[in-house]
Amino acid sequence: MAKALEANDLEIRFGVQTVLRGFSLALASGEKVLLTGPSGCGKSSVLRCFLGFVAPGAGSISIDGEGLTAATVWRLRQRVAYVGQEPDLGTGTAAQAVERPFHYRANAGLRRNLDRVPELFERFHLARDLLQKDVGSLSGGEKQRIALISAILLDRKIFLLDEVTSALDKAGKQAVADYFHSRDDATALIVAHDPEVFSFVQRIVALPGNSQAKEAT
């Protein structure tokens, strides 16, 4: 069976600096994996490689068994939901930010998913009147949860989560953890400095604080 996410012998370089070398990782469909390690060890860069935003110096990336290349990147990216630590919600109200992805042709058929917004706002401890607020007035934690809700509404089965609970209180962190724990159908590669929040994951992969990395199995 094809892996949902797979990196083989990955090397990540920025200029003359090698951030990661010889890193391999595979996630089965539905698997949850936590990626940990000190700052600067390449965790976020690994996620960005899966999105095609960072081109590895060596090695290969595949999504659902298909190689990520210049020819496939736009199509494969549509199978993946990415939520970062400091999401950019654009301008306008929170409601407009949530609706914006559905203006694109690729997502137009999913517009009915917006009916789930009240349910998801409640699940992630957000007040409904927040939808009318300008995104510039939202707290970091509110932005993180709205970005996460937007990603969920796109019906992607693969999630790349980069410090998505860093600005949340204990209850907010637990709500995010409970959601992904309940999603047996979702694959998630999670970067977090507080691994206890995601105690339900099947594996924890620790990147070393140097430019060497072994296979993560």
Helix axis angle for 170-182 and 140-153, nearest 10°, is 10
Number of domains in the chain: 2
Mean pLDDT by 10 residues, the chain (217 residues): 91 89 96 90 93 94 96 95 94 96 91 96 96 96 96 96 94 96 97 90 85 42
What's the CA gap between 18 and 11, in Å, rounded?
A: 7
Q: Please tell me the predicted confidence (pLDDT) of residue 209.
A: 64
- pTM beyond cutoff 0.85: yes
Q: Please tell me the predicted confidence (pLDDT) of residue 1.
A: 67
Indicate the SS3 state at residue 79: coil
Question: Which of 156, 183, 201 is the C-terminal boundary of a domain?
Answer: 156
Estimate to the nearest angstrom the gap between the alpha carbon of 177 and the chain centroid. Answer: 13
Estimate to the nearest angstrom the gap between the alpha carbon of 25 and the chain centroid. Answer: 16
Query: For residues 164 and 126, is the Cβ–Cβ distance under 8 A?
Result: no
Residue 84 lies in a domain: no
Q: Please tell me the predicted confidence (pLDDT) of residue 195.
A: 84
Q: What angle do CA 141, 144, 146 make, to 5 degrees?
A: 110
Question: Which of 107, 134, 156 is the C-terminal boundary of a domain?
Answer: 156
Indicate the SS3 state at residue 15: coil
69: which 2 tokens? 């290349």
Q: Please tell me the predicted confidence (pLDDT) of residue 210.
A: 52
Question: Which of 110, 138, 156 is the C-terminal boundary of a domain?
Answer: 156
Q: What is the pLDDT of residues 175-197, one digit of tens each?
A: 999 999 999 999 999 998 888 99
Query: Is there a single domain that holds both residue 136 and residue 193?
Result: no
Q: Please tell me the predicted confidence (pLDDT) of residue 204.
A: 95
Query: What are the b/e assignments for 104-134, b being 16+ CB within 10 Å?
Result: eeebeeeeebeeebeebbebbbbeeebbeee
Q: Please tell me the predicted confidence (pLDDT) of residue 217.
A: 35
Query: Is there a single domain that holds both residue 68 and residue 105?
Result: no
What's the CA gap between 174 and 196, in Å, rounded?
A: 10
* Structural domain of 180: 1-79+159-217
Q: What angle do CA 31, 198, 148 make, to 5 degrees?
A: 80
45: which 2 tokens? 């860069």
**Edge-to-edge, what's the strand order for the sheet holding 66-67?**
17-27, 5-14, 58-63, 66-67
Query: Is there a single domain that holds both residue 98 and residue 165?
Result: no
Query: Is there a single domain that holds both residue 150 and residue 169?
Result: no
What's the CA gap between 97 and 130, in Å, rounded?
A: 12
Q: Please tell me the predicted confidence (pLDDT) of residue 215.
A: 39
What's the CA gap between 77 and 55, in Å, rounded?
A: 14
